Structure 1
Amino acid sequence: MTIASCGSVSALTLGLPNSSAVPAEKATLPKGLFVARIPVSAKTKQRLANDIETITMLSLLRPSNTRLAVGTRIPEVLAIGLRLHAKNAAIPTDIVELIAMQRKSGIVFVCVRDADFEGTKRQECAFAVRRALPGRAGHTPTFKVFVSDWKPAGEAMLDIGDPAVDSIDALWESLCSQVMLGSASPTALDARMTRRMQAAQLAEQIDKLTRDHQRAKNPEQRNEIFTKLHKAKNQLEELRKLEA
């Protein structure tokens, strides 16, 4: 069997089981499939037509080919390749959103582009997932597309071997964690996401307060800003301890 590939990337180069690889003859997904049933903006249609060269199903991870328990939330996990048309292209988050919102499956998007590198050209790969932001139970979830850094295509891999990955649900959490946080652990991902977002907000606050403190002339104002700055630094340090 010839397995599907997106550029030079396939299920095997990604480190996924051979049993999950999709045959090449069944792998190509027509672009029109994703705009046939829902309203789509003219801009997104144009990007789908012009910016995406091919859409390819690379891997289908199910209990039957992973020996993982059936998930209660995620029935299966797909790896879908997006071959980008333009050199040095950015990850097409609107296309990721368009495709992911139409399926209950977890989808890891494998984006492949040609890129300039040190005077030559190389093929690069990055991952994207669409996931709900942590929120309160009972509230309508807000989704966001998260992306990884670009890597040489031959170095881009997905780890499904974390000891805590015992079900398809946990597999999805692990893959999201890899894209979003650079860690294969599926444990308490929402809590870790929340801490990461809080840390980013505190880092921005510290940067602003530092500049405000440098500009302030009034001693009372400087002391007030310094107190806020000290508090923010302590909060950031505590969050980093939890991540360690």
Structure 2
Amino acid sequence: MTTPTAAHCGSVSALTLGLPTRTAIPEAKGSLPKGLFVAKVPVSAKLKQRLTNDIASITMLALLRPANTGVQAGTKVPEILVLGLRLADRTPAVEVPAEVIDLIADQRGGSGIVFVCVREGTFEGAAREECALAVRRNVPVKPGHQPITKVHAGAWKPAGEATLELPEDPSTVTMDELWNCLCAQAILDSADGTDLDARIALRDRLIELKALETKLTRDHQRAKNPTQRNEIYAKLHKVRTQLASLK
């Protein structure tokens, strides 16, 4: 019997990601029409335009469940989808489409979704196919507060280097733990899903402080007034001290 070809987004498929063959969606069943995600919910004209102009195609690459992974059932995440978003070819290259990811994730309820974003990019002057993994997770809030979600994305890398690993012995983890493991791989490029929310918060704080350090360094170089330069330098010193304490 011939094995069906796995669905793919660009050159990326469940198999190139390293997922088990039994989790792969056949190519004939992988394509999802973009209109599916705006047919039953109110969507702004701006978001419809982004879906139309920034997304070339949407493809279901894999579906992970206890039955096809050997992972134990969880209490929060019943299944995990791996969804390919082929981004439109344009200059500058389209970045990870957080608004579209929000739109799709809203319609999947409690399912976890790993978004595999694929685009044509350039590196050192040469064209290459690039991939970035993204997920939407709940942000920790105090009991009784309104739930908050946030889209997180990893770095762009050559499409052939994008992987999603399952634990060596899947039977030792639950679907909830697998979700954290895959989120850690997507966001932090680490297979360790423990204490994930705190590690994500630390990463985001480091990114914020580094951006502020760059801005203040530039402002300090441009400032002519001595008093202003001293004030900026004091802020810059404070930021650098915080960075040193977090690394």
* Contact kept in structure 2, 1:170 and 1:186, CA below 8 Å: yes
Deviations 1:129-175 (A, max 9, x none): 11122322221122111112211111111122277971111111111
Confirm whether residue 6 of structure 1 aligns to residue 12 of structure 2: no
Q: Secondary structure at the match of 1:75?
A: coil
Q: Secondary structure at the match of 2:31?
A: coil
Confirm whether residue 63 of structure 1 aligns to residue 66 of structure 2: yes
Deviations 1:108-142 (A, max 9, x none): 11111122344443222111111122322221122
Equivalent-residue separation in structure 1 for 2:17 and 2:116 (angstroms): 9
* Contact kept in structure 1, 2:133 and 2:187, CA below 8 Å: no
Count of residues in Structure 1 that have an aligned counterpart in Structure 2:
238
Q: Secondary structure at the match of 1:138?
A: coil
Equivalent-residue separation in structure 2 for 1:119 and 1:232 (angstroms): 34
Q: Quote the residue 2:132 is aligned against.
A: 126
Counterpart among 238, 242, 246 of residue 239 in structure 1: 246
Q: Quote the residue 1:37 is aligned against.
A: 40
Equivalent-residue separation in structure 2 for 1:131 and 1:70 (angstroms): 19
Residue type matched to 1:144 in 2? K
Equivalent-residue separation in structure 2 for 1:27 and 1:67 (angstroms): 23
Distance 1:2 1:144, change over 3 A: same
Confirm whether residue 16 of structure 1 aligns to residue 19 of structure 2: yes
Q: Quote the residue 1:161 is aligned against.
A: 167
TM-score (norm 2): 0.82
Distance 1:155 1:200, change over 3 A: closer
In terms of mean alpha carbon deviation, does 34-43 or 107-116 score higher?
Answer: 107-116
* Contact kept in structure 2, 1:74 and 1:169, CA below 8 Å: yes
Residue type matched to 1:61 in 2? L
In terms of mean alpha carbon deviation, does 109-118 or 144-153 score higher?
Answer: 109-118
Q: Quote the residue 1:136 is aligned against.
A: 142
* Contact kept in structure 2, 1:134 and 1:194, CA below 8 Å: no
Q: Quote the residue 1:100 is aligned against.
A: 105
Q: CA RMSD in A?
A: 3.0
Equivalent-residue separation in structure 2 for 1:236 and 1:38 (angstroms): 43
Q: Secondary structure at the match of 2:32?
A: coil
Equivalent-residue separation in structure 2 for 1:163 and 1:210 (angstroms): 48
Confirm whether residue 89 of structure 1 aligns to residue 94 of structure 2: yes
Equivalent-residue separation in structure 1 for 2:7 and 2:42 (angstroms): 30
Q: Secondary structure at the match of 2:151?
A: strand
Equivalent-residue separation in structure 2 for 1:126 and 1:205 (angstroms): 24
Q: Secondary structure at the match of 1:15?
A: coil
Note the C-alpha offset of 1:191. 1.7
Distance 1:201 1:126, change over 3 A: closer
Deviations 1:164-215 (A, max 9, x none): 9711111111111122222111101112223333444555666677789997
Distance 1:162 1:36, change over 3 A: same
- In structure 2, the gaps of 5 or more residues are none
- In structure 1, the gaps of 5 or more residues are none
Residue type matched to 1:130 in 2? R
How high is the sequence identity, in percent, across the aligned residues?
54
Counterpart among 197, 205, 216 of residue 190 in structure 1: 197
Residue type matched to 1:25 in 2? A
